[in-house]
């Protein structure tokens, strides 16, 4: 995951770690398919989180319910960075992926991560 720093997992429950992974999986499936490069990122993140990756973790989930499971601001910020990295993994960022990232950022009261060429005010929220 290391985007300058490793995720500090002290005190982070296994349920919150799983939710972190499920949020990323939802982004991977936001455009209707998960690219092999996105699946590779998911496997790396699961390893960093020290959680087993199951088939259920590779399904899209209810965005609102998933957002509510990530309650720590530091974890939310790290997840937004991970979402950006995942969206960029297949070298094409889809509108659905941007919408999903914006949803989580707004839900948590955070700024979306900077991405080249993206004007976040013009990105719609998921339908």
The predicted model scores a pTM of: 0.84
Q: Helices 95-107 and 14-28, interaxial angle, to 10°?
A: 150
CATH class of 14-122: mainly alpha
Instruction: Return the domain boundaries, the chain.
Output: 14-122
Convert the pLDDT of each residue in 31-53 to its tens digit.
888 889 988 988 888 888 888 87
Give tens-digit pLDDT for 1-24: 444 345 667 788 888 888 998 899
Distance CA 63, CA 37 (A): 22
């Amino acid at each position: 995951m290391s985007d300058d720093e490793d995720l500090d997992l002290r005190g982070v429950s296994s349920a919150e770690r799983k939710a972190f992974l499920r949020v990323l999986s939802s982004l991977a499936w936001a455009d209707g398919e998960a690219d092999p490069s996105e699946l590779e990122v998911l496997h790396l993140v699961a390893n960093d989180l020290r959680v087993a990756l199951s088939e259920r973790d590779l399904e899209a989930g209810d965005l609102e319910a998933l957002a509510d499971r990530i309650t720590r601001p530091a974890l939310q910020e790290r997840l937004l960075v991970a979402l950006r990295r995942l969206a960029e993994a297949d070298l094409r960022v889809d509108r659905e992926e941007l919408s999903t990232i914006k949803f989580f950022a707004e839900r948590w009261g955070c700024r979306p991560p900077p991405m080249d060429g993206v004007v976040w005010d013009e990105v719609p929220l998921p339908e």
